[in-house]
Structure 1
Amino acid sequence: MKNLNNTNNINNELIENKDKLKKFNFTIIGSGAFGTAVANFLVDNNNVIIYGIDKKEIDDIKINHKNTKYFGSIKLKNKIEATNNIKEALKEADAILLAIPSHIFKIVLKEKILPNMKKAAYFINLAKGFDYKEIKFLNQIIDETIPKNLNLGTLKLSGPSFAKELLKKEPTKFVLAAKDIEIAKNLKKYFETNYINIIISNEIYGVEILSVIKNPLSILLGIVQGLGYKMNSRAYIFSEALEEMKKIVNLYKLNENIIFLPAGVGDLYLTGNSKKSRNFSVGYKIGKNDKVNKKILNSFTTIEGLRSIEIIFLLAKKNGIDLKLFNLLYNITYKNTSPSKAMDEFFKGINEHYE
């Protein structure tokens, strides 16, 4: 009952203090690039602590105010706290931000976070991908793993953003999504700064889907550029990618206009056009080499887009959806079709549906 009362108190405080901002306690699980970059702008108006398992990284953040592994000599804000102690990290948490890879997402929630929670908190997913074992979206995993009396609300923060550019205060737009839009509305103000713009949505499943499917499509855009195709052809693939996004969104009976959210077309534009994007870079290497070599195959565990290709291909096949780009990606990454041959065949057949 104590936790339920705490839930009501925090929600009431948020509603009653729309104009007067109360400092919020954010705990970020994961000391990687994106988690650190989010901490760096959240700390302007809030208390922020980062939890990580790499002691060297955590000491670097705490003592040197840097995350040298990802950002070199760029300084972080001094107010960011960091710890290897999960109990310390969660002790005062009003909101828990999950910046961890999808393949360890459930384990961390179940074995690290849940046993050490002292009070109810909001859960905000920063990760992109599926739970590949259960074929579930990460917001579902949060809702199924964290009891209702400890979860004030599940949200998703997503949008076109490179971590290093966030540190440099480049203007950036995110969508903050929750099933209950009032929760997103009430939390929005804690994320906004003079260079961070937040829009809200109740389409959390849609935002999760977009954050999954844009990664494989970014790989394909990298392949096309690596093969030497020029802007006309790359724009062609980009527009086809938006069509396939729409088909998948329709499969889940969601409003297809969500593809125009920052997590859709904005994120695809960013990650599908720059070597700063890991997914684009892997695709570019595949295109340059005109094959998927062992080194690239070994990166399947860390490149979310590569791991999503098979899932989406099988999902489309099961539901009778024609996703030409995902068929193409599947043939390149799982059937060893050379990228140049696959793309030649694709472009030769572009007018078939008009005949």
Structure 2
Amino acid sequence: MSSKIAVLGAGSWGSALASVLVENGHQVNIWTREESQKNEINTNRTNKRYLKEFKFPKEIVAMTDLKQAVSGANAILVVIPTSGIRELAKELNKIIDRKLTIIHASKGLEQQTHKRISVILEEELSDDHTEGIVALSGPSHAEEVVKRDLTTITAASLNQTSAQYVQELFINDYFRVYTNTDIIGVEIGAALKNIIAIGAGIIAGLGYGDNAKAGLVTRGLAEISRLGLELGADPLTFMGLSGVGDLIVTCTSPHSRNWRAGYQLGEGKKIESVLSNMGMVVEGVSTTQAAFELAEEHGIEMPITEAIYEVLYNDAEVKYVLRNLMQRKGKAE
């Protein structure tokens, strides 16, 4: 059955997910704040800043008017940086006039509050406007989804009906969606894997090989799991697509902007220079600070996160930080 979906955010991931929805027979409006981007999408069917080789299906309509974009929608898909979600949710709460399924495909933690994205949405959207909140997450590069590469992700929600609805919206021959009720674990895994991806990029930029990468990913997963369990997640979630799956794809590919940022840090560049040249938000940078503070607040040991925090926020030398990690007192795994 066809649905009308408003995709809020016309970056690489929003564009890719909008394309999947159209291919599955749904009506899609994609919203952007930028008039030039709207005109490019509607006129040329391109989004060169984010996906150079991609062409939008002709059925997608780009808009800059938020009220017009969500009008008549059955579901809203939020795909913008974490830093903008609270304000967008406040705007939406003034516009929505009935209960809708709210989906988000963003990955991060809010600065200062350290809150997950679904919590932000719950706080800013009234109960009269939300049928259910669903986190869509897993090992997925937009660049590969638009080429119809085989992809598997998770739709997580406390509302199983909403999760199944999102599953039905997206699932097709190349895009497989599983459901999960552990939205805490899925969102924590999605956010914190970006920290480890920065670390994986640093290791590659320093010239280290597969041994170092495997050790970092494995011990990084242990850190993510420790904090996730403290916050109420199911430990099995971190063995799934939004845990180890997302770690693998983000820590091993230049498609990942977090990995690319880390690689440049490993080469000796400063974080300010890296971010200014990236052209897109690197969620792992702000998430590192949030996770570092959250770990301190809960008394959770996260040495890799702490090390990357030192590099990003205290201008620590990457080789010095790495040596300190390797020289920590021995312990049982």
Q: What TM-score results when the alignment is normalised by the length of structure 2?
A: 0.94
* Partner Cα distance (2:299, 2:108) in 1: 23
Could you say if the C-alpha distance between residues 91 and 297 of structure 1 is closer, same or farther in structure 2, counting changes exceeding 3 Å? closer
- What amino acid sits opposite 1:225 in the alignment? A
* Partner Cα distance (2:26, 2:208) in 1: 46
Whose radius of gyration is greater, 1 or 2?
1
The secondary structure found in structure 2 opposite 1:71 is coil
Which of 268, 271, 274 aligns to 1:296? It is 274
Q: Is this contact kept in 2: 1:292–1:332, CA < 8 A?
A: no
Alignment of 1:329-348 (within 5 A): 329-348=308-327
Q: 2:48 maps to what in 1?
A: 68
Shift in Å, 1:63: 2.2
Q: Is this contact kept in 1: 2:112–2:290, CA < 8 A?
A: no
* Partner Cα distance (2:137, 2:236) in 1: 16
Q: 2:128 maps to what in 1?
A: 149
The secondary structure found in structure 1 opposite 2:58 is coil
Shift in Å, 1:187: 3.1
Shift in Å, 1:235: 0.9
Which of 235, 249, 259 aligns to 1:270? It is 249
Shift in Å, 1:212: 1.0
Alignment of 1:25-44 (within 5 A): 25-44=4-23
Of the structure 1 ranges 175-184 and 296-305, higher mean CA displacement relative to structure 2 is found in: 296-305
Shift in Å, 1:73: 4.1
Q: 2:27 maps to what in 1?
A: 47
Say yes or no: does 1:188 pair with 2:161. no
* Partner Cα distance (1:46, 1:129) in 2: 28
Which of 64, 67, 70 aligns to 1:84? It is 64
* Partner Cα distance (2:106, 2:191) in 1: 10
The secondary structure found in structure 1 opposite 2:106 is coil
Of the structure 1 ranges 249-258 and 23-32, higher mean CA displacement relative to structure 2 is found in: 249-258
Alignment of 1:85-100 (within 5 A): 85-100=65-80
Say yes or no: does 1:171 pair with 2:150. yes
Q: Is this contact kept in 2: 1:49–1:80, CA < 8 A?
A: yes
The secondary structure found in structure 2 opposite 1:127 is coil
Shift in Å, 1:293: 4.4
Shift in Å, 1:57: 1.3
Say yes or no: does 1:305 pair with 2:279. no
Shift in Å, 1:199: 0.2
- What amino acid sits opposite 1:139 in the alignment? S
Could you say if the C-alpha distance between residues 91 and 205 of structure 1 is closer, same or farther in structure 2, counting changes exceeding 3 Å? same
* Partner Cα distance (1:266, 1:27) in 2: 28
Of the structure 1 ranges 127-136 and 295-304, higher mean CA displacement relative to structure 2 is found in: 295-304
- What amino acid sits opposite 1:216 in the alignment? I
Shift in Å, 1:215: 0.6
* Partner Cα distance (2:69, 2:315) in 1: 45
Say yes or no: does 1:321 pair with 2:300. yes
The secondary structure found in structure 2 opposite 1:69 is coil
Q: 2:176 maps to what in 1?
A: 197
The secondary structure found in structure 2 opposite 1:170 is coil
Q: Which runs of 5+ in 2 are unaligned?
A: none
Q: Kindly report structure 1 stretches of 4+ aligned residues shifted beyond 4 Å.
A: 297-301
Of the structure 1 ranges 67-76 and 84-93, higher mean CA displacement relative to structure 2 is found in: 67-76
Could you say if the C-alpha distance between residues 192 and 236 of structure 1 is closer, same or farther in structure 2, counting changes exceeding 3 Å? same
Q: 2:87 maps to what in 1?
A: 107
The secondary structure found in structure 1 opposite 2:296 is helix
The secondary structure found in structure 1 opposite 2:62 is strand
| Cα-to-partner distance string for 1:181-209 (whole Å, 9 max, x where unaligned) | 12212331111111110000011111111
Q: Is this contact kept in 2: 1:26–1:93, CA < 8 A?
A: yes
The secondary structure found in structure 1 opposite 2:207 is coil
Percent identical pairs in the alignment equals: 27
* Partner Cα distance (1:215, 1:352) in 2: 26
Which of 208, 222, 236 aligns to 1:229? It is 208
Aligned residues: 330
* Partner Cα distance (1:203, 1:294) in 2: 36
- What amino acid sits opposite 1:46 in the alignment? H
* Partner Cα distance (1:33, 1:216) in 2: 20
Q: What TM-score results when the alignment is normalised by the length of structure 1?
A: 0.88
The secondary structure found in structure 2 opposite 1:68 is coil
- What amino acid sits opposite 1:292 in the alignment? K
| Cα-to-partner distance string for 1:297-318 (whole Å, 9 max, x where unaligned) | 6579921111111221222222
- What amino acid sits opposite 2:219 in the alignment? E
Shift in Å, 1:158: 0.6
CA RMSD of aligned residues (A): 1.8
Could you say if the C-alpha distance between residues 313 and 301 of structure 1 is closer, same or farther in structure 2, counting changes exceeding 3 Å? farther
Alignment of 1:251-270 (within 5 A): 251-270=230-249
Of the structure 1 ranges 335-344 and 212-221, higher mean CA displacement relative to structure 2 is found in: 335-344
The secondary structure found in structure 1 opposite 2:167 is helix
